[in-house]
Chains A and B, each alone.
Chain A
């Protein structure tokens, strides 16, 4: 990430800390939940726990192994990095020595229990909300990064589509895409997929199943570039789509269009979800947008999945430069599981659709790989 963006985030974070009356912010993370840590110090743990300490004028990091300490110190020469095999006990000592009313600890969900049970743990929800606010309400420079990641998602989907051939196993298909993503300097990708017919009810990690003629092949592809993620959801058919598949898919096209039309400043995540779900309900498919099937109609995109999901009961108000994926993904009783989703950026007058991949139900040749 550029030093300029790192600096910009640091200034926003310290301003927020000052406004919240915090002298010290302690941010935890690991390979699964590294987004808060990356916002605070631009650090991505590969293994083990990591803990960032941020004050008005200083910042340092503690990790569990010498390998992680050496790696991160080399990546950020200006950052003080220390390793301790008994990391959590050491951090707990530091928290116990701090003034709890002036110390923030985050994120509330995944902070290790030993730290959460310190006096500073009482303020975890507030400290997490502080960081969530910064991460969801992006600067223009951050939204620009998401736009760059969208380019990679678009190009990556074409690689996926070209690799999807009858006879290939799911994991081989994903392996080919992953190799291509590495050629682009992309370190990470959130990705699940599905293949088959009406029996498929969801997406999951790739398995050993061989693709077959007539399959619907679904994927949610989410590459990370320069720390920021963007997502594309698409469905393709191996062979010529049937009339039933095309008619079913049209509902998803209409729902996506309706959802995107609702993305504008002042509207809420709930409005975006409702606009999509109303299309399904109008077609007598309301059951398929409930928790019995798939009810999430999108989510924020940024350093990870930002903030709350796009659901009808979520009142997060959209603001310019927020970035999110809108996806009416769910099961259709006639065609099977279908996904379709674009990443968008909220603008002053509405939104900019960043995804450029065509939305229609496309096909890949049904011949053998």
Chain B
């Protein structure tokens, strides 16, 4: 669950920006002939609703209902006692208690005069939880409910200057947390504790880490459960959220001299980041190692970061101006190596930028 700082700064993210995003969605709705759009949110799938309203549930779940002519309505399974908190941190119209989300949506649609059987779009219909999806489809008619994920993805990017600034703040939190890890850190518990203390005190909403404790033995980045000793070289990937804006920052750390090949891999990574920010993902040169791989992630739907492209293939299109995370892994003579960093993608004559934090 989320247990860091969850808040809304009207200075960092003015209500007018959220209104403009909803307007973009409504334009898509009109184009697609949709009477309403629904977006589900839990802390595992928070991104669509957060982008539209700044709301992320710390726990439990909710549905956002966007109609053509009034402020977005939140139907929340959370206790009504936290409705005051929801209003503090979100830009919403009505906030309605809905222990049974599907029934809450159906009642609200009826109350707002949406004609039964009118076309509804759901952002991420395939992954919508069964307890919401099945009653909704049964009552409204499955044929009238369509997946609004492609339409949402089309309006979600490129990122605006406010999103960029908030992501940069998340990156700054991550960079500082890494810098504050003691040089003599010897195990994953001490590493994680140093990261948590720094990141959460700086206002991180969430911090997730994956660690490869000993790069001479393996490069897989693992979840920390229990304690593991750190080798002479280890890799750390931080995923940090600041007020709902996610970035990743990953790097390989060595006590003493860097293993063979790290400098060349690092130079390739920096060059690739510049190329991605300049021209996009096409034509990226191969990494200077036989067994290397890379990926690009960005936010297209309900998850903060989704896989968009690997060194082998593209899964979703990468619009210029999208906020993305580039990650690369290589097996070098001296062991494994890993890095990741955020950027905005270039392409189509448009220049992006590598985030500095």
Contacts and interface: CB of A to CB of B under 8 A. Distances in A.
Contact of B43 (A31, A46, A112): A31
Given A32-B42, A201-B81, A205-B3, A110 B189 contact: no
A205 B85 CA distance: 9
A51 to B, nearest CB: 11
B317 interface: no
Contacts of A70: 220-221
B302 to A, nearest CB: 10
- Most chain-A Cβ atoms within 10 A of its Cβ — which of B6, B81, B327? B81
A67 interface: yes
B351 interface: no
A227 B226 CA distance: 10
B126 interface: yes
B127 interface: yes
27 contacts: A30-B42, A32-B45, A32-B59, A44-B225, A47-B239, A48-B303, A64-B306, A74-B220, A75-B223, A110-B129, A110-B130, A112-B129, A113-B125, A113-B127, A113-B130, A116-B130, A117-B137, A121-B130, A171-B5, A175-B196, A175-B199, A178-B196, A179-B193, A182-B224, A187-B223, A191-B3, A208-B7
A230 to B, nearest CB: 15
Contacts of B3: 174, 178, 189-192, 205-206
Given A113-B130, A185-B189, A205 B2 contact: yes
Nearest to A109: B131
B84 to A, nearest CB: 8
A124 B130 contact: yes
B interface bracket (residues with beta carbon within 8 Å of A): 35 or more
Contact of B4 (A174, A183, A192): A174
A183 B1 contact: no
List 9 A-B pairs, minimum CB-CB distance, nearest first: A175-B200, A113-B133, A116-B130, A74-B220, A202-B81, A179-B197, A182-B192, A171-B5, A32-B44
A205 B58 contact: yes
Contacts of B79: 202, 294
Contacts of B239: 47
Interface in A125-174: 171-172, 174
B70 interface: no
Interface in B204-238: 208, 210, 218, 220-227
A88 B127 contact: yes
Nearest to A208: B7
A207 B5 contact: yes
A32 B43 contact: yes
A245 interface: no
A176 interface: yes
Contact of B45 (A30, A111, A175, A179): A30
B303 A46 contact: no
Given A179-B194, A207-B6, 10 more contacts: A74-B220, A108-B130, A110-B131, A113-B130, A171-B200, A175-B201, A190-B3, A191-B1, A192-B59, A207-B5
Given A85-B315, A175-B200, A206 B5 contact: yes
A85 B223 contact: no
A65 interface: yes
B243 to A, nearest CB: 11
B223 A114 contact: no
A178 B2 CA distance: 12
Nearest to B192: A182
B68 interface: no
A206 B4 contact: yes
Interface string B298-315: 000001111100100001
A47 to B, nearest CB: 7
A171 B307 contact: no
A109 B130 contact: yes
Contact of B44 (A30, A108, A178, A293): A30
B82 interface: yes
A178 B200 contact: yes
Contact of B85 (A33, A187, A204): A204
A361 interface: no
- Most chain-A Cβ atoms within 10 A of its Cβ — which of B126, B131, B137, B306? B126
Nearest to A183: B193
Nearest to A92: B126
Given A32-B44, A179-B200, A192-B58, A71 B5 contact: no
- Most chain-A Cβ atoms within 10 A of its Cβ — which of B79, B84, B310, B327? B79
A180 interface: yes
A205 B189 contact: no
A195 to B, nearest CB: 13
Contacts of A47: 208, 239, 303-305
Contacts of A294: 79, 81
A186 B305 CA distance: 25
Interface in B1-16: 1-7
Interface string B256-271: 0000000000000000
Interface string B97-123: 000000000000000000000000000
Nearest to B316: A85
- Most chain-B Cβ atoms within 10 A of its Cβ — which of A31, A89, A175, A294? A175
Contacts of A112: 126-130
Nearest to B133: A113
A113 B58 contact: no
Contacts of B306: 48, 64
B190 interface: yes
B203 interface: yes
A268 interface: no
Nearest to A180: B193
A75 B3 CA distance: 26
Contacts of B131: 108-110
Interface string A36-56: 000000001011110000000
B73 to A, nearest CB: 21
Contacts of B201: 172, 175-176
A73 interface: yes
A184 interface: yes
Contacts of A179: 193-194, 196-197, 200
- Most chain-B Cβ atoms within 10 A of its Cβ — which of A73, A88, A171, A201? A171
B50 to A, nearest CB: 14
A79 to B, nearest CB: 13
Contact of B197 (A111, A176, A190, A227): A176
Contacts of B129: 109-113
A204 B210 contact: no
